[in-house]
Amino acid sequence: MPDAPDSLSSLHSDPIEAVSAAVIAHMNEDHPDANLDYARGPGGCPAATSAMLLKINRLGIVLQVTTSDDVKTIPVKFPEPLESRDQIRPALINLLTEARKSLKSANQSPHQETSA
């Protein structure tokens, strides 16, 4: 059974699992602007008004996204699966950089208060 992109499930052991709770807490407490840009950019939800990180694993992140009339869960895959916890920060920064580039090209204002 291949990895399911919609749920970001995996049959492989996940090197991120041991630190995922700390990463989630950090992103939600210190970088809500980055979460929102993930939702609006690669998450494909330009109408997002807020976003909270629910899950991170070797395949990507899952966000709870709020719009003016809905709350939904959106997975965002990393370009390549992560092999170690040392790759988390660079992967999130790269994802944020790409998110902000896509938002600028779509004439949406990215939130640039902090980085991952």
- Give kind and range of the element (H or E) at residue 105: helix 88-105
Is 3 inside any structural domain? no
pLDDT at 7: 56
pLDDT at 103: 92
pLDDT at 4: 41
pLDDT at 13: 81
pLDDT at 22: 98
The count of domains in the chain is: 1
At 39, which amino acid appears?
A: A
Is 77 inside any structural domain? yes
Is 110 inside any structural domain? no
Is 112 inside any structural domain? no
Q: Consecutive 10-residue runs of the chain (116 residues): their mean pLDDT?
A: 48 86 98 98 96 97 97 97 97 96 81 52
Three-class SS of 15-69: CCHHHHHHHHHHHHHHCHHHHHHHHHCCCCCCCCCEEEEEEEECCEEEEEEECCC
Is 86 inside any structural domain? yes
Is 2 inside any structural domain? no
pTM of the full structure: 0.83
Is 1 inside any structural domain? no
* Contact present, 16 and 96 (Cβ < 8 Å): no
pLDDT at 106: 80
Which CATH number covers residue 48?
A: 3.20.180.10
**Residue 48 C-beta-side C-alpha neighbours within 13 Å:** 29
pLDDT at 1: 36
Task: Give the whole-angstrom CA distance, residue 10 versus residue 12.
Answer: 5
The boundaries of the domain holding residue 37 are 17-103
